A = this chain, B = another copy of it.
Amino acid sequence: MKSIKHIVIISTLFASMLTHVAAQELLSPDGRQKLEVGLSQEGRPYYKLVFRNKEVIKPSFLGLELQDQESLLDNFSLDSISTGTFDETWNPVWGEQREIRNHYNELVLYLKQQSTPNRLLNIHFRLYNDGLGFRYEFPKQENLSYFIIKEEKTAFALTGDHKAFWLPGDYDTQEYNTTTSNLSEVRALMSEAVTPNASQTSFSPTGLQTPLLLKSKDNLYINIHEAGLIDYACMSLNLDDKNLILKSWLTPDAVGNKGYLQTPAVSPWRTIMVSDKAADILTSRLILNLNEPTAFEDVSWIKPIKYVGVWWEMISGKSSWSYTSMENLKLDEVDYSQVKPNRTHAANTRRVKEYIDFAAKHGFDAVLVEGWNIGWEDWFGKSKDYVFEFVTPYPDFDVRELQQYAAERGVKMMMHHETSSSVRNYERHLDTAYRFMVEHGYNSVKSGYVGDIIPRGEFHYGQWMVNHYLHAIRKAADYKIMVNAHEAVRPTGLSRTFPNLIGNESARGQEYESFGGNTPDHLTILPFTRLVGGPMDYTPGIFQTDIKAYNPNNNSRVNTTLVKQLALYVTLYSPLQMAADVPEVYNRFLDAFQFIKDVAIDWDETHVLDAEPGDYIAMARKAKGKDEWFIGAITDENARTLTLSFDFLPKGKKYVAIIYEDSKDADFETNPQHYHIYKQTVTSKTKLKQWLARSGGVAIHIKEQ
């Protein structure tokens, strides 16, 4: 239901006489969140946020520093204020719940600079029960048409030295383990936190990424991020660790400018989720709600996907993406039919058929194949412009034969476009590549942006690239193609508007378990941080936790138990879920694999049973359109016992629960593959005391008896 009221509570005439405006207050619909906004004596706009009478954000200034013209920082007077309320329930194309309520009270400050050139700036606040969103709006006006942002000056003044779950601020990557520390410790821990990556650009010894999760001494959970990042640079935060103020820090372009805007324009929403319950961060839909509804008229072609793929065997080092051992080739000069194969190329017709057979047998929707196209011999780190052309398979990969083979078995092929961050090259080939997909029956693509952006000087998270990612998504929609973009900018809820954006990486995924490992608490943090912006293609389901089994030279290990891998299908929401291990491994554990086969990937309801970031998460979800439920619970490096209440189930009805649990002797380091599966009748009154091994978990499939 929609109901918006805009009331001008201070007339323009009156406001123009003010030099200091008394604070305005706004409450969330449930009254728990309280926003105060106003202008300082210098005409600087500020805001303050209070949750249940606890201060969350102390008075913090807002504004922007512009390049080559007077900034939008101070000297403002209040022209008018409008307030309103909005309440609507909408249905996502796919998601964690069938219905999402978008309910907020809003307040817009209409500001005017008091001296020439008398420019206008609106600051738009939406206060939800679960937090605040606000953005800058630059109305069309005579004296502000085109402008360059030198820096956005949004502050988040904190009330204390909170515990932070943080990633080093970076213009190019989020593929870091989360560091958990007090904010005052960030500076000392920074160099340790910055681990190597294929492309990385730190910008400050106290730089932090969003989504940033904070926990205050008085037990408030605060998540700072952004929503609706379109045609604007991605925001990081720079910590003033003396005053404990977080300050916006946009990603620059090659010459240091941070944004080129034209009025009318809006910034992305700056978001602050806050609650005294950790679970509320996980169930908040604030980011999605702040995005625009989709403009796609037809969304019938967009569907969640459960898939397997020719991938982990390369990640583990067993197989190769490349077909030959050449080290220096030019796409338009090499004749692959004349060169010697390296015999480790996984994306060959025979092997892919095994994946297709496996997918068909076990009811998977699709098979991803990486390394199918020419160019992988020297694709990385060479500043190579014409690195891939996206349409020519290696000689051992028969596109047509595989297309037919898969189609006959009801399986879709999933395309892979690694761009090597040679972005112009990708755009030059984009139409041809998408057309190729349509002609060969592919309806989804995993794209990748490994390495430094070409042209050099641009960053993964700058406005230039933000614009590119959306270009690729929009164009894909023209071809009815779903996109899962890796190494792209972190999601900000854009999948509401562009639901063909079915996945992103933008964090340290499972692949790092083969590159030295993720910390055991990593997966208990991701849902509180990275995932608030949108689903992640984490690629769970690695059963063979000792990577040596694939590749004797790889000493890495997956830092979870096997059961924790199962639980991830519930705790890490995504409409795109991979069973990432190889068929041969799954065939050795078919009883456990059954959970991956059964688990839903689209949901009617989501319930957090218990959660504490960095420690554990337990969630229950109802499969979309079915009276069928799944529970996933995971823990960090500590074994623990959780009490899982089944009170989310309909009252008075009996269900059977299939419980996949760590064996009593399981341990992620010493005995990760020991598990136990059993059935039990459950009702809404059931309370299950469940032990989880160190970095272990539990996965439960609940269905009608």
Q: Which residues of A contact B (CB under 8 A)?
A: 140, 145-146, 148, 253-255, 257, 260, 262-263, 327-328, 330, 378, 382-385, 424, 427-428, 431, 455-458, 464, 467, 471
CA distance A424 to B463 in the complex (A): 13
Cβ contact within 8 Å between A455 and B456: no
User: If A146-B328, A428-B471 touch, does A455 touch B382 (CB 8 Å cutoff)?
Assistant: no
Show 29 A/B contacts (Cβ-Cβ < 8 Å), sorted by A. A140-B328, A145-B328, A145-B382, A148-B383, A253-B455, A253-B456, A253-B457, A254-B254, A254-B455, A254-B456, A254-B457, A254-B458, A255-B456, A255-B457, A257-B456, A260-B384, A260-B385, A262-B328, A262-B330, A262-B384, A263-B328, A385-B467, A424-B424, A424-B427, A427-B427, A431-B431, A455-B455, A455-B457, A455-B458
CA distance A336 to B531 in the complex (A): 43
- CB-nearest residue of chain B relative to A148? B383
Cβ contact within 8 Å between A260 and B383: yes
Q: Which residues of B contact A262 (CB under 8 A)?
A: 328, 330, 382, 384
Q: Which residues of B contact A148 (CB under 8 A)?
A: 383
Cβ contact within 8 Å between B327 and A145: yes
- CB-nearest residue of chain B relative to A260? B383
Q: What number of copies of this chain does the assembly contain?
A: 2
CA distance A284 to B328 in the complex (A): 38
Q: Which residues of B contact A455 (CB under 8 A)?
A: 253-254, 455, 457-458, 464
Q: Which residues of B contact A255 (CB under 8 A)?
A: 254, 456-457
CA distance A144 to B427 in the complex (A): 29
Q: Which residues of B contact A431 (CB under 8 A)?
A: 431
Nearest first, the 10 closest Cβ-Cβ pairs linking A and B are A254-B457, A254-B254, A145-B328, A146-B382, A260-B383, A255-B456, A457-B457, A255-B457, A455-B464, A253-B456
CA distance A271 to B145 in the complex (A): 47
Q: Which residues of B contact A330 (CB under 8 A)?
A: 262
CA distance A382 to B382 in the complex (A): 34
Distance (Å) between the CB of A682 and the closest chain B CB? Answer: 54
CA distance A552 to B257 in the complex (A): 40
Q: Which residues of B contact A140 (CB under 8 A)?
A: 328
CA distance A457 to B458 in the complex (A): 9
User: If A455-B464, A456-B257, A457-B255 touch, does A146 touch B383 (CB 8 Å cutoff)?
Assistant: yes
Q: Which residues of B contact A456 (CB under 8 A)?
A: 253-255, 257
CA distance A427 to B457 in the complex (A): 20
Distance (Å) between the CB of A224 and the closest chain B CB? Answer: 29
User: If A140-B328, A431-B431 touch, does A145 touch B378 (CB 8 Å cutoff)?
Assistant: yes
Given contacts A255-B456, A455-B464, 11 further A-B contacts (CB under 8 A): A140-B328, A145-B378, A145-B382, A146-B378, A146-B382, A253-B456, A254-B457, A260-B384, A262-B384, A263-B328, A424-B424
Q: Which residues of B contact A458 (CB under 8 A)?
A: 254, 455
Q: Which residues of B contact A385 (CB under 8 A)?
A: 260, 467
Q: A424, A428, A455, A467: which has the most chain B beta carbons within 10 Å?
A: A455
Distance (Å) between the CB of A454 and the closest chain B CB? Answer: 8
CA distance A70 to B504 in the complex (A): 40
Distance (Å) between the CB of A382 and the closest chain B CB? Answer: 4
Distance (Å) between the CB of A453 and the closest chain B CB? Answer: 10
Distance (Å) between the CB of A383 and the closest chain B CB? Answer: 4
CA distance A257 to B452 in the complex (A): 14
CA distance A424 to B458 in the complex (A): 13
CA distance A455 to B255 in the complex (A): 9
Q: Which residues of B contact A383 (CB under 8 A)?
A: 146, 148, 260
CA distance A365 to B398 in the complex (A): 50
Q: Which residues of B contact A257 (CB under 8 A)?
A: 456
Q: Which residues of B contact A378 (CB under 8 A)?
A: 145-146
CA distance A448 to B428 in the complex (A): 20
CA distance A383 to B427 in the complex (A): 20
- Of the candidates B146, B382, B471, which one forms a contact with A384 in the assembled complex, judged by CB atoms under 8 Å apart? B146
- CB-nearest residue of chain B relative to A265? B330
Q: Which residues of B contact A427 (CB under 8 A)?
A: 424, 427-428
Q: Which residues of B contact A253 (CB under 8 A)?
A: 455-457
- CB-nearest residue of chain B relative to A456? B255
Distance (Å) between the CB of A226 and the closest chain B CB? Answer: 21
- CB-nearest residue of chain B relative to A231? B385
Q: Which residues of B contact A254 (CB under 8 A)?
A: 254-255, 455-458
- CB-nearest residue of chain B relative to A432? B431
Distance (Å) between the CB of A247 and the closest chain B CB? Answer: 24
- CB-nearest residue of chain B relative to A468? B424
Distance (Å) between the CB of A680 and the closest chain B CB? Answer: 58
CA distance A424 to B385 in the complex (A): 15
Distance (Å) between the CB of A205 and the closest chain B CB? Answer: 23
- CB-nearest residue of chain B relative to A457? B254
Q: Which residues of B contact A145 (CB under 8 A)?
A: 327-328, 378, 382
Q: Which residues of B contact A424 (CB under 8 A)?
A: 424, 427
Distance (Å) between the CB of A513 and the closest chain B CB? Answer: 30
Q: Which residues of B contact A457 (CB under 8 A)?
A: 253-255, 455, 457
Distance (Å) between the CB of A213 and the closest chain B CB? Answer: 33
- CB-nearest residue of chain B relative to A452? B255
CA distance A257 to B383 in the complex (A): 11
Distance (Å) between the CB of A116 and the closest chain B CB? Answer: 18
CA distance A403 to B294 in the complex (A): 39
Q: Which residues of B contact A471 (CB under 8 A)?
A: 428
CA distance A428 to B428 in the complex (A): 7
CA distance A467 to B327 in the complex (A): 24
CA distance A330 to B427 in the complex (A): 23
Q: Which residues of B contact A384 (CB under 8 A)?
A: 146, 260, 262
Distance (Å) between the CB of A335 and the closest chain B CB? Answer: 15
